[in-house]
């Protein structure tokens, strides 16, 4: 949940600062998720969320932290990942997720996600890192969705 994820972020932020190692925080949000629930029902929406969680667990390392952040939002703490590797990885996950065939009865559909990233170097607190990733996610949504935006590179 949100509180536990933020506790992990606080701990990993402090560790990364202390050891001067990279850390990137990612916030992911399913695009147009309300319409998925409205069109196909909440049980289908839950399956879509589980499909994303499964993909994240398959693609991320055991050392990375995955948390549910809100309704259709996930947070990922990429421990030891610099911005270049984090961008590459999150774009691959975004692409793979968009290609997944989601099912509702006999109907098949696709769902996309948006992602905001922030790397520890530019921030002096976990709150600032979190806020930066959140703003980058907001920018990804405003920029047409189905993309990954790095904080500080929103233009």
pLDDT at position 2: 81
Asked, for residue 155, whether it belongs to a domain, the answer is: no
Catalytic option among 72, 73, 95, 107: 72
Query: How many domains, the chain?
Result: 1
Active site residue 119: no
Cα 28 to Cα 113: distance, rounded to the nearest angstrom: 7
Cα 109 to Cα 68: distance, rounded to the nearest angstrom: 23
pLDDT tens for each residue of 11-36: 999 999 999 999 999 999 999 999 99
Residue 133 neighbours by CB distance under 10 Å: 27
pLDDT band, residue 71 (cuts 50/70/90): confident
pLDDT at position 154: 73
Asked, for residue 135, whether it belongs to a domain, the answer is: yes
pLDDT band, residue 155 (cuts 50/70/90): low
CATH number, position 80: 3.30.70.270
Q: What is the DSSP string of 28-95?
A: EEETTHHHHHHHH-HHHHHHHHHHHHHHHHHHS-TTSEEEE-SSSEEEEEEET--HHHHHHHHHHHHH
């Amino acid at each position: 949940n949100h509180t536990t994820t933020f506790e992990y972020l606080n701990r990993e932020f402090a560790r990364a600062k202390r050891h001067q190692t990279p850390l990137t925080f990612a916030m992911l949000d399913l695009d147009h998720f309300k319409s998925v629930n409205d069109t196909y029902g909440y049980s289908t929406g839950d399956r879509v969320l589980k499909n994303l969680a499964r993909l994240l667990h398959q693609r991320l390392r055991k050392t990375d932290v995955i948390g549910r952040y809100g309704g259709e939002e996930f947070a990922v703490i990429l421990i030891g990942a610099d911005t270049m590797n984090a961008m590459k990885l999150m774009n691959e996950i975004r692409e793979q997720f968009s290609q997944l065939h989601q099912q509702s009865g006999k109907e098949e559909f696709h769902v996309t996600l948006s992602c905001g990233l922030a790397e520890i170097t530019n921030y002096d607190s976990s709150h600032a890192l979190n806020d930066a990733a959140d703003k980058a996610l907001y920018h990804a949504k405003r920029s047409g969705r189905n993309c990954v935006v790095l904080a500080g590179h929103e233009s």
